[in-house]
């Protein structure tokens, strides 16, 4: 399994629009092959920061996701609303357990 952790700091006045766009992206992504979970949160330390947590079955599914035109359009739109380049880390899970 793959875990994707992302975050982006949104400029003042744009968090409402950024959250709306992010939720649309979340709902769309959940319907894609290999998507196990996809969510967006507001950082409790800074409500202008959006935090994404995603789980994908494998890297191939994730790479297909990156190529979906709506995914690319979303990243572009979010970047316009941000004060920094969105950050993303991709982690390959070896195992899960207690």
* Residues near a copy of itself, by CB under 8 A: 1, 3, 5, 19, 22-23, 26, 39-45, 47, 50-51, 53, 89-98
Nearer to a copy of itself, 1 or 68 (CB): 1
Q: How far is the CB of 80 from a copy of itself (least distance, A)?
A: 19
Residue appearing with tokens 């400029």? 11
CA 78 to chain CA centroid, nearest Å:
10
Beta-ladder partners of 3: 55, 91
Residues 26, 66, 35: CA angle, nearest 5 degrees: 50
d(Cα 46, Cα 52) in Å, to the nearest integer? 14
Q: How far is the CB of 35 from a copy of itself (least distance, A)?
A: 15
Smallest separation (angstroms) from a copy of itself to the CB of 52: 10
Query: Encoding tokens for residue 25?
Result: 């992206």
31 vs 93, beta carbon nearer a copy of itself: 93
Cβ-based nearer residue to a copy of itself, 3 or 64: 3
């Amino acid at each position: 399994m793959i875990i994707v952790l992302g975050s982006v700091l949104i400029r003042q006045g744009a968090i409402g629009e950024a959250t709306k766009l992010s939720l649309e992206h979340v709902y769309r992504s959940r319907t894609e092959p290999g998507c196990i979970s996809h969510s967006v949160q507001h950082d409790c330390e800074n409500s202008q920061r959006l935090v994404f947590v995603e789980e994908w079955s494998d890297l191939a599914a994730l790479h297909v996701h990156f190529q979906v035109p709506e995914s690319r359009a979303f990243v572009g739109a979010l970047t316009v609303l941000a004060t920094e380049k969105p950050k993303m880390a991709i982690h390959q899970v070896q195992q899960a357990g207690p």
